[in-house]
Amino acid sequence: MIELLRKRRSIRVYEDRKIEPEKIEILKEALLRSPSSRNRNPWEFIFVDNKELLKKLSKSKEHGSEFLEDAALGIIVCGDEKQSDVWIEDCSIASILVQTVAQSMDMGSCWIQIRNRMHNKNTSSEAYIQDLFNIPKTMKVESVISIGYPAEKKAGVPKEKLQLNKIKMNCW
């Protein structure tokens, strides 16, 4: 696992290549195996592989989502705030786990933050996605994860560049 983390980088450029159905099933399983507080499982996921829908989804934010248009897959990560007071944390855990599993299968990914972001000056990114995908207003949209085969190479962050000063031992 540490080797995956050492190589992990956000990938925003993808090959024009579909993800094999068996790998899609593994990504689904990874999400559904994600831990959640008190086993509430407040998350729901929408897998988007339709190119026209990915193009529309890529416009969900003013900046930072346009590369989704070229991804093979977008996963919309939603949470039910009435089901759990820590739905954000549970959705975040699921999001990073699916990214790690994608990387283990030689795919790249990138987290696209949706909660508290804007589609334009009048509409939130969440409202835009809720309308586009008929998501009930009671479901919150935390993130979208883009996944595909990388068309860019990025080296992992060298150990020497890790912010070791962020780690404290026994007290601040």
Residue 1 counted as domain residue: no
Structural domain span for residue 135: 24-148
Residue-level pLDDT at 3: 87
Residue-level pLDDT at 2: 87
**Whole-number Å distance between alpha carbons of 56 and 59:** 5
Residue 6 counted as domain residue: no
pLDDT digits (tens, 9 = 90+) for 126-146: 999 999 999 999 999 999 999
Q: What is the DSSP letter of 105?
A: T
Residue 64 CA: distances (Å) to CA of 10, 51, 86, 105, 121 = 12, 18, 26, 25, 16
Written as one letter, the residue type at 151 is: A
Q: What is the DSSP letter of 159?
A: G
Question: Which CATH number does the domain housing residue 118 bear?
Answer: 3.40.109.10
Length of the chain, please? 172
Residue 37 counted as domain residue: yes
Which residues of the chain carry a pLDDT beneath 50? none
Residue 7 counted as domain residue: no
Residue 61 counted as domain residue: yes
